[in-house]
Amino acid sequence: MTRIIDGKAFAAQLRETIAAEVAGLAKKPGLAVVLVGEDPASKVYVANKARQTVEVGMVSFEHRLPAQTTQSELEALVARLNADPEVHGILVQLPLPKHLNAEQVIAAISPEKDVDGLTVVNAGRLVAGLEGLVPCTPLGCILLLESLIPDMTGLNAVVIGRSHLVGKPVAQMLLQKNCTVTVAHSKTRDLPGLCRTADILVAAVGRPEMVKGEWVKPGAVVIDVGINRVAGREPGKTKLVGDVDFAAAAPVAGAITPVPGGVGPMTIACLLRNTLTAFKRLENLHN
């Protein structure tokens, strides 16, 4: 019988573990989240981050800036947060308004406080197998996989998607787990055939229900990173679906993440984990 991977329950357990560790600290980790503009989805996400930060006993620093904020003003704020000893993690909520250069803003974040794992330094550390901060969603994927497969040595893993946010980092992390990894993308030949070779299939391409049931190797573990809003059954209603056709793939897979309730809840939990990791390193506390 297929196992439905409960990311919501796993994330709640992870937050409990983090809260227990934070409770024993003399100084509390601080997470600064910067939101520029009025993007509705970003506002909800930032509010959830702030709430969960406080719930685990950390200090939340929210910086809400108007949409007309200039590049120099935003980078000046990042510089102040880099220098603030009470701030251990910095996250600039993306997307930014179009007149701002996100790459320059991310590059301005201190790699030691880059809890989103997006700086070139942290990306390079991941590739080199060195200690660093890794992107939250890929970290969530790996933690879910580890809970199912403690030893992934020798397994075939196919990652659909080559973004800097998910595809590339999750592929590097699977390599570190001794998987044989193939990164597939829009130019890949015979994508269905390739997917059928995967013991672990990670879909992170951003196309609703692209991965069909016949693409899945029987018994494979399927991690669906996609969050796509599509039309619902009722007029004017929408629903969330993943990059995998869940109804068709679930009977074939050995285990699969649902959407919603799979990888999504892990992202903020892993942000908190990264903040705690950054805190320990900046405060010279040993794990």
Active-site residue list: 49, 93, 116
User: Which residues touch 146 (CB under 8 Å, ≥6 apart)?
Assistant: 152, 177
Q: Is 247 helix (H, G, I), strand (E, B) or coil?
A: helix
Report angle CA 59, 86, 267 to the nearest 5 degrees: 50
- How far apart, in Å, do the first and last CA atoms of the chain sit? 38
Which tokens belong to 60?
A: 């939340």
Contact 2, 253 (CB under 8 A): yes
Q: Could you give the CA distance from residue 131 to residue 138 in angstroms, rounded to a whole number?
A: 16
Short-list 175, 233, 229, 230, CA closest to 202: 175
Q: Is 105 helix (H, G, I), strand (E, B) or coil?
A: helix
Q: How far is CA 60 from CA 73, 85, 105, 272, in A?
A: 21, 14, 20, 11
Q: Which helix (H) or strand (E) holds 125?
A: helix 120-128
